[in-house]
Each structure stands twice: as C-alpha cells, then as structure tokens.
Chains A and B, each alone.
Chain A
Amino acid sequence: MLAARAHLPDGRLGPGLARLTAEIARLMDAFAAAGATAVDPPALQPADILLDLYGEDIRARAYVVRDPARGEMMLRPDFTVPVVRMHMAHGAEPARYAYAGPVWRMQEPGSPRPSEYLQAGFEIFGAPDPAQADAEVFALIRDLVGADAALVETGDMGVLAAAVEGLDTAPHRRAALRRHLWRPARFRRLLERFGAGHAAETAARAALLARVAAEGAPAVIAAAGPEIGLRGAAEVAERLARLAEEARTPPLSAEQVAGIEAVLAISAPMEAALGQLRALALPGLGPACDRIEARMEALAARGIDAAALPFATSFGRTTLEYYDGFVFGFSAPGRPDLPPVAQGGRYDRLTEALGGGRRLPAVGAIIRPEVLLAARGCPA
C-alpha cells in the first residue's frame, strides 16, 4: 500500500518507480525537442488567484493551507495557472514550456479518483497562427500517448461562444449566456427563460415592475427596508431597470433557441461536423467554422486523418473549464475505469484574466504519466 500511487500499485518504489521516472523523462525529452524550456512552479500557490479564477467551488477541490505570513495558500490543482503567471511575469515571446510533477485534487470520500497525481505538460504562448499551434500540440501529444490512448475526442469551445455572440437579442442576454457557457444546466435554464419561459417570467415580475413604474424605484426600495451593506440602493435601482428591460425585450424565437440547441447537439467526425455547422447557417458561426477548417488542414498537413477525428461541440464543456477554443482528450481503449491519459486545448482568455488584461494566444496539454503506464498494462 505504501508503494502505491495514482493508478500504479508499485509506483513509488524500485522497478515501478524506475519505469515511471523513465516515462516522464521520455515525455520531457520530447517536449524539449519541440523547443520547450523546463519550468518548475511552486507547489504552494496563492489561494486568492485561484479563487478569483475558478470561484468558490475550487475550495471543495483543492487543498487549502494557511500560512501565518502569506495567508491562504493552495496546493496547485494544475500547472497551467502557475505557468501562465510565470510567463506573464518573466517570459519572452514566443515561448514554449514543459513541466512535470504532482498536482493535488481533493476528492469526495469514497471516490476512486486519486488526490495526488502526476502531470507532464507542454504549453505554447504567443504563437501567431492558432491553427498551426493547435495542430502541433495535438500531434505531439498523440505521438507520445500512441496506441495506449487511441480513443480521441475533440471539440471547440469557441463554437457555442460564437453562436451566443451571434444571437440577435439584447446585449444583457448575450452576457448572461456567455457567463454560463461552462455550466450546462444553468445555460439551458437561461435559454428557457429568455425563450419559451419569457412570458411566465415576465408575469412573475409584473407586480414588482408595475409598482416601480408607478411609484419610482427609490420609493419602492425605501419602503422595503433601510439601505445596509456594500451593495447600495443605486445598484438595486439599476437592476430593476434591467429587469424592466428584460421584460420589454421580445423573447428569443423558437428558431433562435433551436439554433443553439442544434449547435450543442453536433457530434460527428470533424469534417462532417463542420459541414453540419455550416449548414446551420447561424449568424456569427462563420469565423468559428473557418477556424475549425484551418485547424483541420493544419492537422492533415501533419499526417493526421483530421476529417475523421471525432468532434463534439459540447466536449469539454463541464470538465475543462478554462479552455475557450480547440479542446481534445485521449483515453485508453477498453479502460473506462481510468481518467483520460491526456487532455488539452486553447485558453487565450485565461491569459487575459491572469495577465491584467494582456491577452496572449495560448495552447497546451497535459499527459498523466501514471495513467499512461496503467493503460499500457504494466505488471502490478
């Protein structure tokens, strides 16, 4: 038991450890050959930055420790955030980085998922041609995981985002949908609310909005109670105005809602999926389709049968939260008990959030060396 580590019963000792060390060296050598500089970010990361990025939910998934001088720290739940921060602070552009080491994730009691596991990763920042960089990372990871993780999935978070931006409706609705792209249940509820549910929603607010129209927002607010706390009466009045605007805005048409749902339902080989997306002829989807096509060509130029790669618009929507473009994953065939051997994607937006508004093209991927060895069926 003491020699066990994630997915490898003997991975902390003797030959089991030697195999793992050799595998990590193989991956890091390949990343170096692809031009990457090795980086080694601290295991302890400031909690504030991760909380701001992921929200309070991260507390349930990351180990929080309290440092008397530095305040709340977290054991890094991944490398991407610390590597982006290092690059934003010290890096030259364009830049390529490689890393390997443990990450920590708190799991629900009884969960078979490991709370400590290894990641070996590769990230490219600032590459001018996104299609080429996407294809390069995908091809590199595919070659490294090989036949041990031949189950491929791909997607593109930018497609749904583009469909939302293309909706002909009030800007506040697009903003609300954009904010919940990564929360499918909430996204669907909003879509319902702005569409078929709009009449019921408007009726539920009617009494309040009628009072506000008759008496004025300040009087209605003052009658409800004294102004306390940081969020002031002006902010309440502002939101009342937005609620009135939402009530006045015509509901999303059945066609608009069906369009978004059709985008979400697409799951087919990449070339066929692209054809289906183009055939939807939704406003705003053109550039997103062009990006998929350019990427498909770049993948094909690297000898990958890109047209046949499985592609789903909703792939990566719940698990890979900071990705906003191309996403992909590799899993071991016949091993649904194992997490994906590798996953990655594009995360331009994350660089903006961490770089104080400076946005940088960024794409990367991680391989889980322990899972890769387990998938290869090393003797226990």
Chain B
Amino acid sequence: MIGRTLLAASLVACALPAAAQTLAIVHARTWTMTADAPAEGATILIDGRTIVSVVPGGAVPPGVRTIDATGKLVTPGLVNAASQIGLVEVSSAPDTRDTSDKGPLGASFDVSRALNGNSALVSLARADGMTRGVSFPAASSSIPFAGLAAMVRLRDGADILDRAAVAEFVVIGGTSENRSRAAQWQRLREALGDARQKVAAGKGVEGDLAPLGRVLGGELPLAIMTNRESDVRQAIGLVRDFGVRAVIVGGAEAWRVASELAAAHIMVVVDSQANLPETFDRLGLRQDNAAILARAGVPIAFGMVGGKLEYNYNAGLNLREDAGLAVAAGLPYRAALEALTVNPLGAFGIAGGKLEAGAEADLVIWDGDPLELSTNALAVIVEGRESSLENRQSRLVDRYAPPVPR
C-alpha cells in the first residue's frame, strides 16, 4: 500500500534497529487527556512500555528513534467498551465463535481463555486506532448471567489478554422466549442476596456464582446489558440495595434517568449509531443519548450495544463513528475523547488512557480528526511498540491493486 510506505518514509526521520527500546514522537498536536485542549508541538518520549515525558517542544536525546508528527494529531489508543473482538471470527459460522457456551457455566464463564490475537478482526481494529477493548460473553442459559468479560490489548501476536475478569456481564430485557424480565431481576437479586449471606457468614462464594463475591466486594463491576427505562431504574435500585459497582451497557433509554445515573456513579456504554427503536425495549433510543448523559455528569463510553451484524468487524472504526455521531448530536469533543480513553478503562478498574509521564504508551498518530471517518491512523503504538498496520484487507488490496510506481 503506497500510503503506508510513504508514511513510513516521511514519518521516520531517524530509524534505529527494532531492538531500540526508546522512541520519540515530535511536533505532535497531542490530546494528552490531562488538559482541556491538545498540547501543541509536543515531544512524547517513550522508554520501553512507558511514557517518560510529554513536553511541548521538548528535546530528544541523541540516538532515539524519532517520528516526526508535524501536522498530525496524537491521541491515546482508543478503547472499545463493549465488543467481542478476539472471540469471534465469522459470526455466522458457530465453529469460529467462542462468545458463549451451551453448557452449565453461567456467571463463572470466562472468555479470557478463548482470546485469539491472530484473528483477522484484531489487526484491522488495531489499524483503525483501537488498542484496548472489553470482550464480553454472550447470554448464557443461566439467566441472566453471561459471564466474565476480559480486557484485551491489541498488541501484535496471539496473546491479547490484558486482564481477565474485568466485569461480570448480565443480560436483562425482553426476550422472544416467554421469559419475564421480572424473573431476570429476581434471579439476579436472589443470587446476590445468597452471595451476601455467605460472605457475611465468613464463607466464600463458591461454584458458578463465585464471581459474585468479588462483585459484592466492589472489586468487579456488574455490567448490565439493558435498555428500557424501567430496567435502568431497576439497575440503579440494585446498585443501591447491594452496594455494587455497575456499568449499564446499552441504556437506550438511559437519558430518561440521567441525573439518577450520575448520582449513582454508573457509567453507560452507548451506541450512538443506533437511533431506531429496533425492539420495544429501545423505543426511546435517540442519537443524543450520550450528550444528555454527559451533560448530567454520567460517565459514558462507546461500544457494540445494538448487536449490529457488522460491528465487531470494524471494532475500531465503528468506535470512532459512534463518538463522531455523538459529538454531532451535542456531546462536547473532549467528552467524546474521554469516552474513548479514560472512561472505559476506569470503569473496568484500569488506570490509564492518558498520555503523561509514567503512563503505559498506547497511542495513535492520525492524519486528521480521529472522529472523522475519512481519517486514517498513520501509526499505532501499543505498549511502546509501533505495530504493523498490515491486515487482511491491506493484503488483499496489495494483491488486487498493486501500488502504481510514482
């Protein structure tokens, strides 16, 4: 691909062997997420996995591999707060899908052992600027539990596990199988109640419901995939009654409960591409859901919550589209960047998402505004290493449309 080749030539002013553990990015307009505006002409120094400094006009020690990002924008690596990347290859072919299991596992079903960094979906998402994401299990037969989600890190190679068990996912809402949501809430409350009794009695919570012990201790957030206003209110009540941490995933009608969600410190993962009442649970879905929530002080993030066919396949690009559409509907730009970086990490118990001294070096150099779909990522750095932007699509394009020599 000619674009990539030219980029490598123009950006890399001083290339040293890959063994070099230090890297500098200079002249970068940089959203550090530590200030309200981007730092102009910043020098970002990276040593190994870690950012050493971000200083406007900062000097680069001699011999350090340097990327000149003049005229480019730098952001932290983007985080997808709900996807199934690494768990699914061809969604219509069940033998390539590890998102759920029809066996007895419910709350303890842990997707982290199925993660596949060699998936064709991973390299494309990374090339689109996504560096981390929550990969979550699909609904199990142990209603309402889906199981334990993992944080993935889209580094090169097969191992993309960042941290296992970052949230316990439950799915609550209307189904086509004559299962009332009343029973779904009741089962969840009963399970949490039983777990609380065991914890109070000094006994551990064992078996399939073992993760609930960690949920009750506030160590593990409960990620509640739900949409209808009545269910969002039930979720708030559950958080109050059990003192757990929670994230609403979906929250189509969450805007109706914005101030209550803010008071309960519940983050909402929204999908601002979805603006149609696809189900009766989502009648009130609106494109400015994110804007209304953020205005009320609710932390938000973006992810696959509409269950749309194509989303996992473009987990990086769709994330940016979500954020861009939310900004178009009134979400402040900086709030959108927070929703793509610090918010989803923080809600799942991981510090990061900022470009500052001491932070892990996950960042992206863009040829324009990352929320515009006509923008490309020029370089993606994960844990201090510049990743290849090559992916199946780029290889196909290389084969069928070889670059014209210039």
State whether these chains interact.
Answer: no
A interface residue numbers (CB < 8 A to B)? none
